[in-house]
């Protein structure tokens, strides 16, 4: 018997039945009754004995009884005990592992595009939603800034960092800027900021904005005003790419359109979910947030499995999978773990 089981007051029989119940529920999505447990557990126990054990597990908070069924389903506490103590991880078979490795080897994307590719890979491999944060780059230096006019006063900003990393952003300006105006603005900003770090760029923008404008011509004023929008935000702000959200629409626990709407809104607004991912950055290895453990009500019916990824200098981001609490943890955890290692290796090889 494990120390955890002993601490929770579970004997080997109760632990075995709990594992059987959770594995059955993950597989079938239906409340599990005494007869099914007797059949699937392999234990020679009467239905009455199993019912007594289930009553004990319910009293301890590991399972609950839906009103519509005589069977039982796992609680968040039950899943947590299962993951920490009872779970038998399944190493990825050679075919699945080779398939994931081939997708990395075949990718010729830039580091930024690679993040979207890996997010899609996680989604495809698990049939859940995959999420990958954009890597935090240390000592980012601005190499070049270019502007492309779009419709409705929007401008595409092309940023080149460290002479190789390209990022595209779209900003909304208060008025229309002609191509010549945008070219003059980019020329001024390139002259001012080329070779400077993001922190230095932000400090210089604030300095120029706070100084008297008497000595600044219109081109300089307009350029700094535009640059403020381009570089606004905190240092090291975390961003992420999520793919496969529609996979969650087929999950029974999330079929309520209201639940899905609120969940997708949370993905788009990013704020709360970024806090969760940021927490995972500081962890070692795979982290699993089950239901209410995330601290965000919108994720009460979900589990998030994450792992940090690193380049040669240390952790630069985190990736993971979002799905129902009733997910196949034994299969998802190794996929997340392997993908994090491969992404780190891929980023390191491109430095």
Name the domain boundary from 167, 199, 231: 231
| Domain span holding position 157 | 142-231
Q: Do 98 and 114 belong to one domain?
A: yes
If you average pLDDT over residues 131-141, what whole number do you get?
Answer: 76
Write out pLDDT tens, residues 279-295: 888 788 899 999 999 88
25 and 170 housed in the same domain:
no
Q: Are residues 123 and 251 in the same domain?
A: yes
Model pLDDT, residue 41: 87
SS3 for the chain is CCHHHHHHCCCHHHHHHHHHHHHHHHHHCCCECHHHHHHHHCCCCCHHHHHHHHHHHHHCCCEECCCCCCCEEECHHHHHHHHHHHCCCCCCCHHHHHHHHHHHHHCCCCHHHHHHHHHHHHHHHHCCEEEEECCCCCCCEEEEEEEEECCCCEEEEEEEECCCEEEEEEEECCCCCCHHHHHHHHHHHHHHHCCCEHHHHHHHHHHHHHCCCCCCCHHHHHHHHHHHHHHCCCCCCCCEEEECHHHHHHCHHHCCHHHHHHHHHHHHHCHHHHHHHHHHHCCCCCEEEEHHHHCCHHHCCEEEEEEEEEECCEEEEEEEEEEECCCCHHHHHHHHHHHHHHHHHHHHHCC
Give the rounded percent of residues in the chain with a pLDDT score beyond 70: 87
Q: Tens digits of per-residue pLDDT, 73-109?
A: 999 999 999 999 999 887 888 888 888 888 887 776 6
- Do residues 26 and 8 both lie within one domain? yes
Evaluate if pTM is beyond 0.85: no
Q: What CATH number has the domain bearing residue 152?
A: 3.30.390
Do 106 and 167 have their domain in common? no
Domain count, the chain: 3
Between 153 and 212, where is the model more confident? Answer: 153
How high is the pLDDT of residue 279?
Answer: 81
What is the pLDDT confidence band of residue 216, given thresholds at 50, 70 and 90?
low
Specify the pLDDT at position 91. 82
245 and 105 in one domain?
A: yes
Q: Verify that 201 and 274 share a domain, yes or no.
A: no
Identify the CATH number of the domain in which residue 260 sits. Answer: 3.30.450.40
């Amino acid at each position: 018997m494990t120390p955890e089981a002993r601490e929770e007051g579970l004997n080997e029989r109760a632990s075995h039945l709990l594992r059987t119940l959770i594995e059955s529920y993950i597989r079938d999505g239906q409340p599990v009754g005494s007869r099914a447990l007797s059949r699937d557990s392999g234990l020679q126990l009467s239905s009455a004995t199993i019912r007594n054990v289930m009553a004990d597990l319910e009293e301890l908070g590991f399972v609950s009884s839906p009103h519509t069924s005589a069977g039982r389903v796992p609680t968040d506490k039950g899943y947590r005990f299962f993951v920490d103590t009872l779970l038998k991880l399944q190493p990825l078979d050679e075919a699945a592992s080779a398939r994931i490795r081939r997708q990395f080897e075949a990718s010729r994307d830039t580091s930024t595009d690679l993040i979207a590719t890996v997010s899609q890979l996680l989604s495809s491999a698990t049939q859940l939603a995959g999420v990958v944060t954009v890597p935090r780059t240390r000592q980012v230096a601005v190499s070049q800034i270019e502007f492309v006019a779009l419709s409705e006063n929007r401008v595409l900003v092309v940023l080149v960092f460290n002479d190789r990393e390209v990022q595209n952003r779209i900003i909304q300006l208060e008025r229309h800027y002609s191509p010549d105006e945008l070219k003059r603005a980019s020329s001024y900003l390139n002259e001012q900021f080329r070779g400077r770090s993001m922190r230095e760029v932000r400090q210089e923008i604030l300095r120029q904005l706070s100084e008297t404008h008497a000595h600044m011509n219109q081109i300089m004023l307009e350029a700094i005003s535009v640059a403020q929008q381009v570089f606004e935000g905190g240092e090291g702000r975390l961003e992420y790419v999520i793919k496969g959200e529609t996979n969650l629409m087929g999950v029974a626990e999330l079929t309520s359109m209201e639940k899905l709407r609120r969940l997708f809104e949370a993905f788009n607004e990013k704020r709360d979910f970024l806090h969760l991912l940021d927490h995972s950055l500081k962890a070692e290895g795979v982290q699993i947030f089950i239901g209410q453990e995330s601290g965000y009500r919108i994720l009460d019916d979900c589990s998030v499995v994450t792992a940090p990824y690193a380049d040669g200098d240390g952790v630069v981001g985190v990736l993971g999978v979002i799905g129902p609490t009733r997910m196949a943890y034994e299969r998802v955890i190794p996929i997340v773990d392997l993908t994090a290692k491969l992404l780190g290796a891929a980023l390191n090889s491109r430095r």
